[in-house]
Amino acid sequence: MAVNILIYEDNASLRESLSNLLTLTEEYLVVGAFAGCTAVEKQVKTLQPQVILMDIDMPEINGIKAVKQIRTFNQEVQIIMLTVFDDNTHVYEALCAGANGYLLKKYVSDKLVHSIQEVLHGGAPMSPTIARMVITNMLQPATTPAANDYQLTNREKEILQSLSKGNSFKLIAADLCISLDTVRTHIKRIYDKLHVRSQIEAVSKAINEKLV
Per residue in 141-150, pLDDT tens? Answer: 544 444 566 8
Q: Which of 79, 114, 136 marks a domain boundary?
A: 136
198 against 117, higher pLDDT: 117
User: Of the residues 136, 157, 191, which one is the last residue of a structural domain?
Assistant: 136
Same domain, 104 and 199: no
- 28 plus 129 within the same structural domain: yes
pLDDT digits (tens, 9 = 90+) for 65-74: 999 999 999 9
Is 152 in the same domain as 132? no
> Is 63 in the same domain as 147?
no
- Domain range for residue 52? 3-136
Tell me the pLDDT band of 134, cut-offs 50, 70 and 90. Answer: low
- The answer on pLDDT for 182 being more than 70 is yes
CA dist 206 to 32, 95, 101, 123, 145, Å? 37, 16, 19, 17, 11
DSSP 141: P
Based on the domain organization, do 34 and 105 belong to the same domain? yes
- Whether residues 73 and 45 share a domain: the answer is yes
Residue 187 has phi, psi (to 5 degrees) of -65, -35
Number of domains composing the chain? 2
pLDDT-based confidence at 138, cuts 50/70/90? low
Question: What dihedral do alpha carbons 87, 92, 95, 98 form, nearest 10°?
Answer: -130
The pLDDT of residue 83 = 82
Examine the domain organization and report whether 62 and 166 are in the same domain: no
pLDDT at 63: 92
Per-residue pLDDT, 124: 78
- Which pLDDT score is estimated for 145? 46
Q: Are 100 and 171 in the same domain? A: no
Q: Is residue 45's pLDDT more than 90?
A: yes
Domain stop point among 115, 136, 157: 136
Q: Which CATH number do you get for residue 152?
A: 1.10.10.10
Residues 129 and 153 grouped into a single domain = no
Give the model's pLDDT for residue 168.
Answer: 81
Which helix (H) or strand (E) segment is 5 a member of? strand 3-8
Q: Could you tell me if 27 and 113 lie in one domain?
A: yes
Q: Per-residue pLDDT for 156 more than 50?
A: yes
Q: What is the pTM of this model?
A: 0.65
Say yes or no to pLDDT of 165 above 90.
Answer: no
Give the residue-averaged pLDDT of 95-117.
85
CATH classification of the domain holding 61 = 3.40.50.2300
